[in-house]
C-alpha cells in the first residue's frame, strides 16, 4: 500500500452550534471532528455527483518485522 499523501491543512471558522453538532456526530461514529468533517464533505459531494477517488488510508498497527536467516 502506498504511503498516504500529506493532508492539506487550512483554518476553518465554524458557528459554535455547528461545531458542537459535528462533535456529537463524530463521537457517535467514533471519529475525530476532523475525520467527521471530511466524511461529511465526501458524502455531500457524492450526493451532488462529484466523483472522488477513494482516500489513501494510513497504515495501522505495528510494522512487520522481517527476520533474516542466519
pLDDT averages per 10-residue partition of the chain, 70 residues: 74 96 97 95 95 78 76
Record the pTM.
0.70
User: Taking a C-beta distance cutoff of 8 angstroms, is the pair 22, 36 a contact?
Assistant: yes
DSSP conformation letters of 15-51: -HHHHHHHHHHHHHTT--HHHHHHHHHHHHHHHTT--
The whole-number pLDDT of residue 4 equals 64
The whole-number pLDDT of residue 60 equals 77
Amino acid at each position: 500500500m502506498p504511503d498516504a499523501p500529506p493532508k492539506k491543512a487550512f483554518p476553518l471558522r465554524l458557528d459554535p452550534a455547528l461545531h458542537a453538532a459535528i462533535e456529537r456526530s463524530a463521537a457517535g461514529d467514533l471519529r475525530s471532528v476532523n475525520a467527521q468533517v471530511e466524511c461529511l464533505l465526501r458524502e455531500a459531494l457524492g450526493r451532488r455527483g462529484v466523483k472522488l477517488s477513494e482516500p489513501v488510508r494510513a497504515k495501522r498497527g505495528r510494522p512487520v518485522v522481517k527476520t533474516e536467516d542466519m
